[in-house]
Amino acid sequence: MPSFDIVSKVDPQTLENAVNTAKKELQTRYDLRDTKGGIELDKKTNVITLTSENDMRIRALEDIVLTRLVKQGIDGTALDFTDEAHASGTMMKKTVKVRAGIDKDAGRKIIKAIKDAKVKVEAQMQDDQVRVSAKKIDELQAAIAVLRSADIGQPLQFVNMK
């Protein structure tokens, strides 16, 4: 029975390269030249920490990181900017989480989108991925087309097509 897996992951090396180029841009930007703080990546927890003097510069750092990620080929929806910047002494600090894996909420959205499209496939949640199976490969391709047009809120990759 043909099947494929839907996953959401970010290549750690590409992420590190994008953060490093963002750090270099921070050093060369004229409007951010005298900024104390910067951009840090915690590889273990997949969190990017932005620190600066005020909220305006935090937003500028967000913009720099986002443009560098997109130029490296990482989807911008992989970053979670929902946390607010908070004061840490004289500095403002903001943590940006990098989404990896499909959580239960996104899994439900994916399965609901497939069922609403009335494609003859079976979708089931497995840990941090969704497995989709069908009798024909054409039906699997129709399910992929449905998911590419749907707005799930995070980047999706389709792997292990068998």
Bridge partners, residue 91, by sequence = 88
Q: What is the pTM of this model?
A: 0.80
Residues 84 and 150 in one domain: no
Pick 17 or 56 by higher pLDDT. 17
Q: Alpha-carbon distance 3 to 19, whole Å? A: 35
Total number of domains constituting the chain:
2
Residues 91 and 124 in one domain: no
Mean of pLDDT over the chain = 88
The pLDDT score that the predictor gives to residue 18 is: 93
- Type of residue found at 71: K
pLDDT tens by residue, 98-118? 988 888 888 888 889 888 888
Instruction: Using DSSP bridges, classify how beta strands 157-159 and 122-126 pair: parallel, antiparallel or unpaired.
Output: unpaired
The pLDDT score that the predictor gives to residue 88 is: 77
The pLDDT score that the predictor gives to residue 14 is: 93
Residues 123 and 69 in one domain: no
Q: Domain residues for 116?
A: 3-8+101-159
Q: At 126, which helix (H) or strand (E)?
A: strand 122-126
Residues 77 and 146 in one domain: no
Number of other residues whose CB lies within 10 A of the CB of residue 112: 12
Residues 127 and 90 in one domain: no
pLDDT tens by residue, 126-138? 888 889 999 988 8
pLDDT tens by residue, 38-93? 899 998 998 999 998 888 888 989 999 999 999 999 988 889 888 888 887 788 89
Q: Residue 101 burial (CB < 10 Å; 0-12/13-18/19+)? A: middle
Mean pLDDT, residues 9-34 taken together: 88
Q: At what angle do helices 12-28 and 55-71 cross, to 10 degrees?
A: 130
Is 80 exceeded by the pLDDT of residue 33?
Answer: no
- The CATH number of the domain holding residue 45 is 3.30.70.990
The pLDDT score that the predictor gives to residue 106 is: 87
Pick 154 or 71 by higher pLDDT. 71
Residues 41 and 86 in one domain: yes
Residues 76 and 139 in one domain: no
The pLDDT score that the predictor gives to residue 32 is: 76
The pLDDT score that the predictor gives to residue 21 is: 94
